[in-house]
Each structure stands twice: as C-alpha cells, then as structure tokens.
Amino acid sequence: MKNIIFLISFLLVVPAIAQMGETQQEDEKAVKTSKNLTWEANEDLQENEFVSAEAKYRRAIDKSKTNVAAPYNLGNAYYERDSYLEAFGRFKEAGENAASKAEKHRAYHNMGNVFMKNKEYQKAVEAYKEALRNDPTDEETRYNLALAKEMLKKQQQEQPENQDKEDQQDKKEEENQDKEEQDGGDQQDNNDQQDENKGDKQDGEDGDQGEQEKEENKEGDGEEKQEKKEPQQSNQQQPRPNQLSPQQIENLLEAMQNEEKKVQEKMDAKKVKGVPLKNKKDW
C-alpha cells in the first residue's frame, strides 16, 4: 500500500519538475533577449537615436522585470531631456525590481535628483536616505543629502513669509470682491430707482395723455353734437312742403287787398246805380 502511494506521488511530482524546468529555461531566454535589447538601446543613445532607443528599452522591460538596467537607463534618458515625471517612474520601477543593494542605491539616488529638480526637498531627503541605507559609503549621495537638507531648511523659513503674502493677497482679493459686490448692489439699487422713477414718469405721462385724450374726445363729442344740432336748426328755417313762404303770404295778402278793394268798389257802385250788372263771366 505504501509503495502505491509513493508511486502516485512521484508521478505527480515529475510533471511539475519538468514544467519548472521549462519555465526557468524560458525566463533565462527572456532575460537574455531583454539584456540584448538594452545593449542595442544604449548604442542608439550614443548615436542620438532617442526614439529607437526608447522603443527598445520598452521592449526589454516587457521581456523581463528582473533586468533593472532597462528601466534605469530609460529613466536616465528621460532625465537628460528634462522629462522628470517619466524619469521618476522608471527609476521607481528599477528600485522596486532591484535584487541587489547596489541597484537599489542607484535607483533611489536618482529619484532624489528628480525631487531636487522639482524643489520637493523633503522627498529628496527621504530618497537620499534610502540610497545611503543601501550604500553608506557613497559620498556623492551624502553630499546631495546635505544639500537637500539645507534647501529644505531655507524653504521652511521662507514659507511663513510666503504664507503671510498669500494671506494678504487673499484678504485683498476678498475685500475687492466685497467692494465689487457692494458697488454692484448700489448700482442695482440706482437702476431700480431709475426704473421706478421712469415708471412713475411714464404713468404720469400716460395719465396726462389719457386726460388730454378725454378732453379731446369730450370736445370732439361736443363739436359732433353741435354739428348734429346745427343741421336741425337749419332745417327749421327752411319752409316745409305744405307751408307758404313769406313772399307767397305777402302776394296773397296783396291779392286779397285788391279783391277786397274791388268788392268795395262794387258795393259803392251798387249803392249808386241800383241793381248790379252781371258780368260776362263769373268770378
């Protein structure tokens, strides 16, 4: 029974060992390819072929994470071109994947240099300290650390003055803003008052205009009534169809007087001659 269990265990272990051997062989091949690409990229940098060198460094990094020379050298290439953000990322990558203290020392030393360029002196001090932990004998790192501490001290001394200036500037801006808001409010009040006065004036003008229109309408109505009344009076002065005119009345009276005169003459003649004579025709 024990022999059967041992045999099964052995059969399970042998494929695993074979797989580990193949993986190790592939890793060694990848590392070798990565190092060759790094060497070619270094040659391209010597010829000022940065684009080609950058592409090969990236391929070398993808091939193997253990080849920290690829990200470290690419970081140096970025640093020389003042691309400090990209340089810091590659130095950090190299420091995290470094297997030896020497590699970590170089990576953190250069990260400190990037912080110094960006005037981030507190971070530079921490980076140089980490570099010295991995190589306490490096005098260049020690010098940079001392310089970073001095610059940090000077920065901290200047901060209160800068803070006071910033506070004064903020206070001045706030006062100016308050003044602008107040001026804007006063201007708005003036505009509102002007609009109100304008409205009152307009109402007054509209009222006067309305009164004037009423007066004009009243006068117009009076004139219209007068015009209507005048034709009625003129109609009263004109003769009606069944009424005699003054001239006709005068003619009629004259005719009556003449007739009356004739009658009187006939009466007088009758008194003288007796029986009146008949006319040839009746009157």
**Contact at 8 Å (CB) between 91 and 72?**
yes
Write the pLDDT tens digit of every residue in 181-219. 776 666 666 666 666 666 555 655 555 555 565 555 555
For residues 160-184, give the mean pLDDT: 73
Which of residues 17 and 45 earns the better pLDDT score? 45
Domain ranges of the chain: 13-67, 83-168
The CATH number of the domain covering residues in 83-168: 1.25.40.10
Q: Which pLDDT score is estimated for 8?
A: 40
CA dist., res. 143 & res. 195, Å (int): 74
For residues 229-240, give the mean pLDDT: 45
In percent, the amount of the chain with pLDDT more than 90 equals 46
Write the pLDDT tens digit of every residue in 94-135. 999 999 999 999 999 999 999 999 999 999 999 999 999 999
**Contact at 8 Å (CB) between 75 and 91?**
yes
- pTM for the model stands at 0.53
Q: Which pLDDT score is estimated for 70?
A: 96
